[in-house]
Amino acid sequence: MAAEAHLGWLLGRGATFGHIKQLHANLLTTGLFRRSPPLRTTFLELCALSQFGDLAHALAAFRSIPHPATTTNDWNAVIRGIAAGPDPSGAFALFARMLSLASPRPDALTLSFALRATSRSSALPAALQLHALTLRFGLVADDRLVTTLLDAYAKCSAPEAALQVFDEMPLRDVATWNALLAGLALGPHPHTALALFHRMVSSSLPDRETPNEITVVAAASACAQLGSARDATAIHDFARRRSLDADVRVRNALVDAYAKCGALDRALDVFRSTRSKTLVSWNAALMALAMHGRGALALRLFETEMLRSTVAPDAVTYLAVLCGCVHAGLVEDGLRIFYSMRGVRPTAKHYGAVVDLLGRAGRLSEARDLVDAMPMAPDVVLWQTLLGAARSHGDVALAEQAARKLAEMGSKGCGDYVLLSNVYAAKARWGDVGRIRNTMQGNDVRKVPGFSYTEVDGALHRFLNGDREHEQWRKIYRTLEEVEARIRALGHVPETAHVLHDIEEEDKERALYQHSEKLAMAFGIAATPARASIQVIKNLRICGDCHAAAKLISRAYGRVITVRDRARFHRFEGGECSCGDYW
């Protein structure tokens, strides 16, 4: 017993993988690996889950057990390790093998670990099967297991199933609410997450279900996805009323939410008033400035404040500063920051930011040389960055080279084809445009539809290019005609060079005027009071013609128009854009 206790103590203090292997050898030579299930399970957990362990070694040890493992704990240790590893779907195969045996029977923890694997791999069919097993084994009374189940449904894009499980729970606590809220907020259902948050706030809940800091963080994350400044303000007010805004996690989430809702000043106010700033605080503020095109301010905050604080920058910090330089055209500053990185090894993302920086500035040969000098192989995103730079500056040779590389890497994104086609269209090489179109059709590549949405009176209105589904579409198009006339009077000439179709000029102009962001702006003008601000969120990068039009619309109507596209914010006011026409 003394030897067994000593080994248990050593297992609890395993510091390196070498030590773990020595302990394994000791367990095998003494026979304790077979005779002492508690020690064996402790070893498997240490090997499968600790930062010093090795999942492959844990699996090999598990398979070496002379007979099928007779304790559920052994199975739980390795299933949990696989679920937390790089390939969580592998947990399902091991779970299925366990089910095929007469014993041991899976318990609540086994199902919980398997459900975590479904969450991480978005495996809805597996979640449904595990739900059925939960019912079959009579484990629906286990609150923690059911909480994990609804979290899995939420992260597998099955909000209706998650809400049904939630509503059927006889007993809930704040962790249950938070699990559902966090799962919905981080997935593709932020609207449902916010609705759940408002339900939680408006309900008369017992103390155990009272919203806490994690609740606010999840709700703020949903706001960040939606871009709803109104909801972000409401959540901030709620946090203040409940004295939850003192928590630095809440404040960091609010900085991110306000920034992604277009309220940069509010984001910076929250950041400035945060007393004990963490690394996440600094990174959130720097990224907020970067996405709003305030690169010079981001650079100053980093160099004159953060570097003089007690918080050391990490890879995310440098990436945020580099992105700020990219969006503001601060080429030399960006290069200086990149080559002065200390204590952080540059990743492909850092190299990609510098390639983007050089590419936007037209320094294509330097960008290409940097790609050749990278210590790691360029990834798809980096070649797409080069392709975008080639499109912006009309470099056909570089565009074709980048497109070939992307094809070799198996990339089939519609954006690759569209960018190359734009290069050809700008040079009036319609034969090549047709060839690209035929290739897309042959490979069944479909262009991602552009859509935009805007918020009016608390309701979100979504528009597709050429959309006539909105109940007020006739009014919207009448307003659009008025908008077109006004900005033409101010000198707007539609930029038809990049319209992909080889069609008549009038049809090209009509296609441009029916872009989703223009429809959203027209609706905002028609549905809100004169001079009220308009905010538009777009899933793709704003096109050059819409950008030029938005500047003139802001001038013609005396409106502040904020457009959040895939990469950054554009704030149009008085005929100018915050990006300085550099994006």
pLDDT at 76: 95
Three-state SS at 509: helix
Sequence-ordered list of residues with C-beta below 8 angstroms from that of 2, at least 6 positions apart, any chain: none
Report whether 426 contacts 494 (CB < 8 A): no
- CA dist 381 and 125 (Å) reads 31
pLDDT at 505: 53
pLDDT at 434: 87
Query: Which H helix or E strand runs over 535?
Result: strand 534-538
pLDDT at 150: 92
Using CA atoms, how far residue 527 sits from 34, 239, 476, 479, 520, in Å, is 74, 31, 9, 10, 10
pLDDT at 418: 82
Q: What is the 3-state secondary structure (H, E, C) of 48-112?
A: HHCCCCCHHHHHHHHHCCCCCCCCHHHHHHHHHHHHCCCCCCHHHHHHHHHHHCCCCCCCHHHHH
Report whether 534 contacts 524 (CB < 8 A): yes
pLDDT at 3: 54
pLDDT at 12: 58
pLDDT at 580: 84
Query: Which H helix or E strand runs over 463?
Result: strand 459-464
Three-state SS at 179: helix
How many other CB atoms sit within 10 Å of the CB of residue 191?
15
Q: Count the alpha carbons within 13 Å of 495 in the hemisphere toward its beta carbon.
A: 12
Under the phi-then-psi rule, with left for phi > 0, alpha for psi from -120 to 50, and beta for the rest, what region is 217?
A: alpha
Q: Beta strands 534-538 and 561-564: pairing type?
A: parallel
Report whether 477 contacts 539 (CB < 8 A): no
Note the helical H segments in 514-579. 516-527, 544-557
- pLDDT tens, residue by residue, 396-407: 999 999 999 998
DSSP character string of 289-356: HHHTT-HHHHHHHHHHTGGGSSPPP-HHHHHHHHHHHHHHT-HHHHHHHHHT--SS---HHHHHHHHH
- CA dist 58 and 378 (Å) reads 34
Digitized pLDDT (tens) for each residue of the chain, 583 residues in all: 555 665 555 565 556 788 788 888 888 888 888 888 888 998 898 888 877 778 999 999 999 887 755 789 999 999 999 999 999 999 999 999 999 988 899 999 999 999 999 999 999 999 999 999 999 999 988 989 999 999 999 989 899 999 999 999 988 899 999 999 988 998 788 989 999 999 999 888 888 899 999 999 999 999 999 888 889 999 999 999 999 999 999 999 999 999 999 899 999 999 999 999 999 999 999 999 999 999 999 999 999 999 999 999 999 999 999 999 999 999 999 999 999 998 899 999 999 999 999 999 999 999 999 999 999 999 999 999 999 999 889 999 999 999 999 988 888 778 888 888 888 888 888 888 888 888 888 877 777 788 998 989 878 899 999 889 999 999 999 999 999 999 999 999 887 665 555 445 555 667 778 899 999 999 999 999 999 999 999 998 898 899 999 999 999 999 999 999 988 899 999 999 988 888 7
pLDDT at 5: 60
Q: Which residue has the tokens 């080889």?
A: 502
pLDDT at 69: 56
